[in-house]
Amino acid sequence: MAGIPFVEPLDGLVYGVVDRLSPLVARVVAENPSKFTYKGTGTYIIGREEVVVVDPGPNLDSHRGALERALEGRQVRGIVVTHCHSDHVPLSYWLAESTGARTYGFGSHPRPVETDAFDDDDDDDDTARDSGDGEEREHTDFDFAPDVAVRDGETFLTIDGWSLTGIHTPGHTSNHMCVHLDAENALFTGDHIMGWSTTVVSPPDGNMADYMASVRKLMSRSDAILYPTHGNPVRDPAPFLAAYLAHRIDRERQIVDLLRRGPSTIRAMVEVLYADVRRELHKPARRSVLSHLFKLHADGVVTIVNDAPPSMRCIWSVINR
């Protein structure tokens, strides 16, 4: 199996302290470490006297206080939200109200259609990561709507000789946006690319085909450094991105190889594919396998026995060619 990408751990992290990462980039990490967020959500501050804040972070008094101190004496010109998960967006409301700055993002997160297709009748509600393949789901702010909806490839802010451009990267969520800082050829990757684990791709909004296409989109670029919201900067993006994609391709191959032995359910496949993973992590693993199967079904590689609607509970089979 392809190795899961990882960069140096956040050793020596002090919560509430501003870390200067480059002449234009600083970071404050929220004190919300978990199996979802690694050491915590990294809020980036771009600029000098006039600044832009990327992913203000969770609604924690300690993090709000740290941002107040970090932004004292500076003018906040913009607030960027990469996507609408609850460890990224909440403090954007406070920051916009207190500074008058506008919020920027690709758009709102679509509300899910009510369905039980993604349920698997499992009473275990543990939503942990499975060492890289993801968790069951993350809380989402469906009400957030950016003041300015940024188009893919649009340069949306120019300040003091530097500018920011939005890069639409659907997959983790359909409205996920990375942000490029031209002056340092740096890309802020939100949860699309993380520095400690592969990202979550969980249906119905998470889409594996879109995700893999978005990784390839970044591979075609020549960014000098990646700044993920979780984990340390990626200072050699090309091999890191290649490993990210290889991990997904390898998982896809494993699923197809398993189905060549005979039709199977997602639950049965996870018992084999994740035999060495703690059982409490099998539920999130099933959602990861489901996202791969949706892609393989669309690609014409697998089918569903008896033409049943796609769901967590149907029986899947490989198409012999």
- 61 and 141 together in one domain: yes
Question: From CA 16, how far away is CA 297, in angstroms rounded?
Answer: 46
The model's pLDDT over 79-88, given as tens digits with 9 standing for 90+, comes to 999 998 888 8
Q: Which CATH number covers residue 59?
A: 3.60.15.10
Res 201: pLDDT = 87
Average pLDDT, the chain: 87
The pTM assigned to this predicted structure is: 0.89
Domain assignment present for residue 7? The answer is no
**Band (6; pLDDT cuts 50, 70, 90):** low
Residue 36 pLDDT > 70, yes or no? Answer: no
- 164 and 302 together in one domain: no
Q: Specify the 3-state DSSP secondary structure of 19.
A: strand
- 218 and 300 together in one domain: no
Q: Is 226 exposed, middle or buried, given 0-12, 13-18 or 19+ CB atoms closer than 10 A?
A: buried
- 125 and 226 together in one domain: yes
Which of 196, 222, 252 terminates a domain? The answer is 252
H/E/C letters for each residue in 160-196? CCEEEEEEECCCCCCCCEEEEEHHHCEEEEECCCCCC
Domain assignment present for residue 207? The answer is yes
- 262 and 243 together in one domain: no
DSSP state of 304: E
Res 7: pLDDT = 58
Q: Which residue has the higher pLDDT, 1 or 251?
A: 251
Domain assignment present for residue 3? The answer is no
- 209 and 130 together in one domain: yes
- 155 and 233 together in one domain: yes
Res 11: pLDDT = 65
Q: Which residue has the higher pLDDT, 17 or 24?
A: 24
Res 269: pLDDT = 95
The model's pLDDT over 120-172, given as tens digits with 9 standing for 90+, comes to 655 443 333 333 333 334 688 889 999 999 999 999 999 989 999 999 999 99
- 118 and 74 together in one domain: yes
Element (H, E) at 149: strand 148-149
- 223 and 149 together in one domain: yes
- 157 and 295 together in one domain: no
**Band (222; pLDDT cuts 50, 70, 90):** very high
- 218 and 271 together in one domain: no
Which of 223, 252, 281 terminates a domain? The answer is 252
- 146 and 287 together in one domain: no
Domain carrying residue 246: 19-252
Element (H, E) at 76: strand 75-80
Domain assignment present for residue 57? The answer is yes
What is the mean predicted confidence (pLDDT) over 199-214? 91
Domain assignment present for residue 5? The answer is no
| CA distances for 131 relative to 201, 206, 247, 291, angstroms | 14, 18, 12, 17
Alpha carbon dihedral 171, 173, 174, 176, in 10-degree steps, equals -90
Strands lying side by side in the sheet with 25-29: 19-20, 25-29, 42-47, 50-54, 75-80, 103-105, 148-149
**Cis omega (within 30 of 0) on the bond before 284?**
no
What is the mean predicted confidence (pLDDT) over 52-63? 94
Res 135: pLDDT = 39
Question: How many domains does the chain contain in total?
Answer: 2
| CA distances for 110 relative to 22, 174, 308, angstroms | 35, 8, 26
Domain assignment present for residue 94? The answer is yes
Which of 198, 217, 252 terminates a domain? The answer is 252
Per cent of the chain over pLDDT 70 is 87
Domain assignment present for residue 13? The answer is no
Res 178: pLDDT = 98
Domain assignment present for residue 164? The answer is yes
